[in-house]
Structure 1
Amino acid sequence: MKLASLSTPGGLDNLSITDAPDPGEPGPGQIRVRIHASSLNFHDYGVVTGVIPTANGRIPMADGAGVVEAVGEGVQEFNAGDHVVSTFFPHWLDGPAPIDNFSTTPGDGVDGYAREVVVGPAHGFTHAPANLNHAESATITTAGLTAWRALVVDGGLKAGDTVLTLGTGGVSIYAVQLAKMMGARVISTSSSDAKLERLKTLGADEVINYRSTPDWGKAVQELTHGRGADHVIEVGGPGTLPQSIEAVSIGGHISLIGVLTGRAGDVPTARLMAKQARLQGLIVGSRAHQQAMVRAIEANGLKPVIDRQFPLAEIADAFRYEASGAHVGKICLTI
């Protein structure tokens, strides 16, 4: 079978496509899956560029969607022919988060889905949404579930709430779609007027160019008549957090998801305290969270936004395109 692997110390030039032996038939509790698609995430980019160290020869990509070819003894949830999608934390099935690292995350601590066939534990997958194709399904593992957990699981999103999203990456676009699906008002930011227009077509009610309006936290307050945003999808980190705290409502919820502007920095703690807001870090979600999201996607007919697709052989070019920042939504690999 074909697969992509990464030679240490990483870097896109150290990604190679090779042939490997077929993994064979599934054992007890396992399933064999023919992978048809994956999708790129900022975390994957960190791994393949060497920013996040991993083992030599690692197969990258946390997201994988495909078709079950065979099931092992004792597997009752899946049958051959089922469409499935991977989970980010294969051993976090339900309940509170039991892990604070990526040691079990495919494409980082263990081999991922940049390959044609995988044999692994059945609990490392869920059924894919019935209304999505493989590429669309591959977007829910990391980006989709992160937005779902931030808004629905942790945030308790309800109709009439105001959600603030930052930028046009996969998590942020999913947050726009999920918020509108749940009946919320959405305010979105970007540095590109063209991308702001695209955000409007995806459902954003108001948009702010953060380059021409650097005090965008105040602009959110003005757009909400001084109330602020009930939920903030904070993907920037220390460089944007002060403005997010300014933008959030009193008693609101900020989901700290990304570190696009760095891993450490000053936090205006006095302002956060005065806002009495909840600043909550999170990393994706559990298998049960993903199953709930799948049901919601099916019930509402949500269709993920895919900007562009690349064949597996062009995985390095796909990551170069991601690094350019030209995309809106998800970038996928076809396998």
Structure 2
Amino acid sequence: MKTFRTDTYGGIDSLILQHAEPPGALAAGQVRVGMRAASLNYRDLMALAGQLRGPKEGLIALSDGAGEVLEVAPDVTHIAVGDRVALTFNTGWLGGPWRPDPTCLTTRCCPLQGVMQEQMVVQHSELVLLPEQLSFAEGACLPCAGVTAWHALCGERPLLPGMVVLLQGAGGVATLGLQLAKLFGARVIMISSSDERCQRLRALGADETINYKTVPEWQAAVRDLTGGRGVDLAIDLGGAETIDRSIAATAMGGRLAPVGLVTGWPNTVSSIFTASVDITPVRVGSRDDFQNLLRAMAFHGVQPVIDRHFSFEQLPEALRYLESGKHFGKIVIDF
């Protein structure tokens, strides 16, 4: 079978396309999945560059994938051959709050191996069934970005109609976060890097947009749009260069959900003690979160926004496109 891996953690250029033997016989509780699609996240660039806890023996790329069940162990009764499934991101976090123990630290593609392999053998608990309306490509968009957006919106507190949510950018978490926030009846303000992207976000459902290239002090613009109050929930994807502004855009008693590190790790947050904002970092989410997300998407007919499809062999090209920041929505690899 084909795999895409790095042995040196030297970034995109260190990726090598290899042929390997398929996984061996199933043990109790295991399922064999024929992978059909994967999607890219910014953390994949960090993993390939050695910035995450990658395995010493090298890393198979990408964390998010979906496929078809090819074989099940005799003791697995709730999953059948032919089922369409997506793999969970936090393989050991089944439900409840996140805990700093080994169970909740088993994330796919650092420290575990990734999904860029034509077959995978996993525990049955690492799979969720896809609803009929989602394709393999759409299902592959959800394990990290979709669950992150869902958990950021409602994992810590209920998101109620009329609340105001601030989102950044136009990638997977941002577009899925917008689609989901509108299901809750929220007002959504988004910042992005061009008027064209802001227009596309409004077409997708954003109530107001701000071009942060022309309005660098966008936190003040957010305050103006909310009558000086600020937003109830700010989902911060930028990291070092945005988190202080996100806090400044959030109402007293509101919540900041740090999600991404596009501009690096924050060093200090000068306003953390004066803003009276709850800060709840998002570590993607549990299998229960994933299943709740899928139920909501199936009921409301929500489908993730996919920017471009690439073939298996085009993974390096797809990652460079991700690195460029030009995508709108998710980038998918078709197997």
With normalisation by structure 1, the TM-score equals 0.95
CA distance in 1: counterparts of 2:200 and 2:26, whole angstroms: 44
User: What's 1:322 paired with?
Assistant: 322
SS at match of 1:322: helix
Match of 1:176 among 175, 178, 194: 178
| Contact kept? 2:84, 2:129, Cα under 8 Å | yes
CA distance in 1: counterparts of 2:227 and 2:168, whole angstroms: 20
CA distance in 2: counterparts of 1:70 and 1:25, whole angstroms: 10
| Contact kept? 2:90, 2:105, Cα under 8 Å | no
The alpha carbon displacement at 1:155 in A equals 3.6
Percent identity reads 40
Taking the TM superposition and a 5 Å limit, the aligned residue runs for 1:45-56 are: 45-52=45-52, 54=54, 55-56=56-57
User: What's 1:293 paired with?
Assistant: 293
User: What's 2:92 paired with?
Assistant: 91
Provide the alpha-carbon RMSD of the alignment: 1.6
With normalisation by structure 2, the TM-score equals 0.95
User: What's 2:151 paired with?
Assistant: 149
| Contact kept? 1:6, 1:56, Cα under 8 Å | no
| Contact kept? 2:241, 2:266, Cα under 8 Å | no
Counterpart residue type for residue 23 of structure 1: P
SS at match of 2:176: helix
| Contact kept? 1:239, 1:265, Cα under 8 Å | no
Q: Which shifted more, 316-325 or 42-51?
A: 42-51
User: What's 2:72 paired with?
Assistant: 71
User: What's 1:278 paired with?
Assistant: 278
Counterpart residue type for residue 180 of structure 2: L
User: What's 1:3 paired with?
Assistant: 3
The alpha carbon displacement at 1:221 in A equals 1.1
User: What's 1:242 paired with?
Assistant: 244
| Contact kept? 2:9, 2:58, Cα under 8 Å | no
User: What's 2:214 paired with?
Assistant: 212
CA distance in 2: counterparts of 1:130 and 1:161, whole angstroms: 31
Counterpart residue type for residue 56 of structure 1: E
CA distance in 2: counterparts of 1:53 and 1:323, whole angstroms: 20
Taking the TM superposition and a 5 Å limit, the aligned residue runs for 1:27-38 are: 27-38=27-38
The alpha carbon displacement at 1:51 in A equals 3.1
SS at match of 1:64: strand
Unaligned runs of 5+ in 2: none
| Contact kept? 1:173, 1:305, Cα under 8 Å | yes
Q: Deviations over 1:258-309 (max 9, x none)?
A: 122221323123xx44442111112101111111111111111111011011
Q: Deviations over 1:201-242 (max 9, x none)?
A: 111110001121111111111111122111101111131112
User: What's 2:232 paired with?
Assistant: 230
Unaligned runs of 5+ in 1: none
CA distance in 2: counterparts of 1:42 and 1:85, whole angstroms: 19
The alpha carbon displacement at 1:9 in A equals 3.1
Counterpart residue type for residue 331 of structure 2: I
| Contact kept? 1:37, 1:66, Cα under 8 Å | yes
Task: Sort the Cα spacing of 1:17 and 1:295 in 2 relative to 1 into closer, same or farther, 3 A.
Answer: same
Counterpart residue type for residue 4 of structure 2: A
Match of 1:106 among 85, 105, 108: 108
Counterpart residue type for residue 212 of structure 2: Y
The alpha carbon displacement at 1:126 in A equals 0.9
Give the total of aligned pairs.
333
Counterpart residue type for residue 89 of structure 1: N
Match of 2:165 among 157, 163, 166: 163
Q: Which shifted more, 236-245 or 130-139?
A: 236-245
| Contact kept? 2:233, 2:257, Cα under 8 Å | yes
Counterpart residue type for residue 305 of structure 1: V
SS at match of 1:281: coil
SS at match of 1:35: strand
Task: Sort the Cα spacing of 1:278 and 1:53 in 2 relative to 1 into closer, same or farther, 3 A.
Answer: closer
Counterpart residue type for residue 89 of structure 2: F
| Contact kept? 1:4, 1:18, Cα under 8 Å | yes
| Contact kept? 2:153, 2:159, Cα under 8 Å | yes
Counterpart residue type for residue 296 of structure 2: A
